Amino acid sequence: MRKYLLLAGSAMMILLPLYFLYSWNKPRTGALGDGTIAPAAWISLISSIVGGFCFFILGILMLIREKRVQNEREI
């Protein structure tokens, strides 16, 4: 159960920052304008994506380990 929550959480940690990146780069009109993105926002965005990939790899490793343990019990 924990590995599936880890995989779902990692997917959200990867997809939400990518959506924000898409949202920031859309052309805007009016008072919002097309300003630059602050460096602190880039650091937060990149760290969220890297953390999401790390959690995704951890979830995959947990799935592999569980299948290996189940195969050893069947033998």
Condensed to tens digits (0 to 9), the pLDDT of residues 1-43 reads 788 999 999 999 999 999 988 888 777 776 666 667 788 888 9
Give the whole-angstrom CA distance, residue 20 versus residue 68. 38
Looking at the predicted structure, is the pLDDT value of residue 45 above 80? yes
Instruction: Please report whether residue 34 resides in a domain.
Output: no
Instruction: Please report whether residue 58 resides in a domain.
Output: yes
* CA distance to 9, 56, 67, per residue, from 35 (Å): 31, 33, 50
- Give the chain's domain count: 1
Give the whole-angstrom CA distance, residue 36 versus residue 1. 42
Instruction: Please report whether residue 70 resides in a domain.
Output: yes
Instruction: Please report whether residue 61 resides in a domain.
Output: yes
pTM value is 0.77
Instruction: Please report whether residue 32 resides in a domain.
Output: no
User: What's the confidence (pLDDT) of residue 40?
Assistant: 85
Instruction: Please report whether residue 48 resides in a domain.
Output: yes
Instruction: Please report whether residue 7 resides in a domain.
Output: yes
Domain containing 9 equals 2-24+39-74
Give the whole-angstrom CA distance, residue 8 versus residue 17. 15
Instruction: Please report whether residue 33 resides in a domain.
Output: no
